[in-house]
Each structure stands twice: as structure tokens, then as C-alpha cells.
Amino acid sequence: MKKRQYYQLQVLSTERLTPNLQRLVLSGDDLASFPDAPAGSYIKLLFNQFGEPQPTAPQEGQRILMRTYTVRALNKAANTLTVDFMLHGEGVEAGPASHWAQSAQPGDTIMVAGPGTSKGLAPEHDWVILLGDMTALPAISAQLEALPEQTRGYAIISIVSEADKQPLQAPAGIEVIWLVQAGSAGLAKSLLDIEWLQGEPAVWAACEFSSMRAIRSTLDVEFNVPRTQVYVTSYWREGRSEDQHKIDKREDAQQYTQLVS
Ligand SMILES: Cc1cc2nc3c(=O)[nH]c(=O)nc-3n(C[C@H](O)[C@H](O)[C@H](O)COP(=O)(O)OP(=O)(O)OC[C@H]3O[C@@H](n4cnc5c(N)ncnc54)[C@H](O)[C@@H]3O)c2cc1C
């Protein structure tokens, strides 16, 4: 098995981008050997068993909590890696990553593993739909920035408050739709509200687990979009830590594969 690669990084700056989104810019000598990551790649942030940021490579057998975050931007020339955290709850018990994002100060150290690559939009398409909540906003933003200028379609983003809207760099043919306080059914319902364009779409979605299921079912039942054109995943689950959510996700994927095969 390939040995996991760890990078020791320091917080360079921290900024509240919008009321529920904190941007941390990380830096460090280790970034020099960090692989180039395509848009939407992710990293693992390491925390110890008490939910504190892990400052050094973990010892053999040490209990570590890992939290997954999208590489919002990687600038090797400037030696920076930018991560945007959706904030939820207060204190370590509400979630070590969200807590750290709110409390981290310039100079603080954390170990990072990765990067991993996520599936993107199906490459063959006539138009696209990208949809997700604020945890997917970094991945959607990075993908929009990488799309060819002639791309048409929609980016549909569910946000906590009106003030969480942020300027997005997208092709002119992409309509950006912000859903404020839309609830777990909001993203799936938005698929019924938009005008479907001519030809084959590619759909990419990431959000909370029950929203993910609702989106998947809407695409199957209402639109019969071919499976090859769709990537729908959950980034978190209400009431479950990332470790628990990972187990739920695996079981759900197995059940769904059996159902559609
Ligand atoms: C590939 C991938 C990329 C991701 N990229 C990002 C990213 O760039 N930015 C980002 O903010 N998130 C991202 N996420 C989601 C993030 O990993 C989870 O939200 C994670 O659970 C947060 O860890 P935590 O330590 O704060 O909370 P945990 O310890 O995992 O959970 C503690 C409690 O908080 C709840 N919780 C977790 N996340 C949320 C949330 N977003 N809103 C409300 N309650 C929540 C859980 O249900 C649980 O009850 C990504 C996930 C994946 C799989």
C-alpha cells in the first residue's frame, strides 16, 4: 500500500469571507513537494483524539481524526493553499474542523494529507448543472473557473443567509442561482424549477446526505439522466461526524448500486 504523504503547514491568514464561511490560507516549506491538484481536489486535515490540530506526523498507532476539505486554490509560486470552511456550531464537540477554522490564528500549525481527486463533470455534454450547499461551494467555484468559456448551464448553490452570496467567476452562459434557507429538499426541487436545455447534460452535485438522496432520486425519476452523466455525492450528514458519515455513505452506495444494476 502506498505510504500516506503528510505536509506540515502553518496558517498564513484567516478571513471571514461571508457570515458562514471562513477562509484560511495555509503555507509552509512542505508545500514545495505538494502535488499539483486539479480543480475540486481535496485534502485531509489531521486532528488528535481531543479534536486539536495535529502539529506533527502521527505516531504509529496514534488515534487521529481526519476531516476532508477542498483545495479552493493552490498557488505553488506564492507557496499558499487556500481552504474555505463552512462554519457550523461552536466548540470542538460541534466539529473539530469547524471549530479550528473559527479559532485558528496565523502561525498555528496543522498536518495535511493528500491531495485526492474527486470526480468532476462528465466530459461529454451539451450543458451542465453544478449544485451543492456551502460545503461544496469551494469545489463548485473551482470547477466553474476551469470550465471552457462557451459552457452553458446552471450553478445552483444553497446558502444559509443572503449575505453568504459571493462573486463567482463563471462562463457567461452559466446562470448562477442562490437558494437561501432552502432546506434539505431545496436543491432537488430546484432541478424541477430550472428550464432544461437542449441535449445531454452533465450533472455534478455535493451536499448533505439526505439532500444528495433527494437529488439522485429526482434525476432518476423525473429526468432519467444516464448514470454516466451524473456524479452526486454527500459531503456530510446531519447528526453524524465525518467518520460516521463515511460508513453511511459506503452502505448507501452499495444499496444504490444493487438497486440500479
Ligand atoms: C470531498 C469532500 C470535500 C469537502 N470540502 C469541503 C470544503 O471545502 N468546505 C467545507 O466546509 N466542507 C467540506 N466538506 C465537508 C466537511 O468535510 C464536513 O462538513 C465535515 O464533517 C466537517 O468536519 P467537522 O470536524 O467540522 O464536523 P464533524 O466532527 O465531522 O461533525 C460534527 C457534527 O457537525 C455536523 N456537521 C458537519 N458538517 C456540517 C455542516 N457543513 N453543516 C452543519 N452541520 C455539520 C455533523 O452532522 C455532526 O453532527 C467536504 C467533504 C468531502 C467529502
Side-chain-side CA neighbours of residue 88 (13 Å):
17
49 and 138 inside one domain: no
Q: How far is the CA of 235 from the centre of ligand 1 (A)?
A: 7
Q: Whose CA is nearest to atom 29 of ligand 1?
A: 95
Clarify whether residues 63 and 177 are in a common domain.
no
User: Are 81 and 161 in the same domain?
Assistant: no
Whether residues 34 and 145 share a domain: the answer is: no
* CB 199, CB 172: distance < 8 Å: no
Which of the listed residues 135, 204, 234 should we mutate to test ligand 1's pocket, taking the one with most ligand atoms within 8 A of CB?
135
Q: Same domain, yes or no, for 147 and 234?
A: yes
Average per-residue pLDDT for the chain: 94
Mean per-residue pLDDT for 28-56? 93
Q: Do 220 and 241 fall into the same domain?
A: yes
pLDDT digits (tens, 9 = 90+) for 148-206: 999 999 999 999 999 999 999 999 999 999 999 998 899 999 999 999 999 999 999 99
CA dist., res. 5 & res. 99, Å (int): 25
β-pairing, 6-18 vs 109-116, is antiparallel
Q: What is the pLDDT of residues 112-126, one digit of tens each?
A: 999 999 899 999 999
State how many domains the chain has: 2
The pLDDT value given to residue 2: 61
In angstroms, the CA 170 to CA 57 distance is 38
Percent of the chain with pLDDT over 70: 98
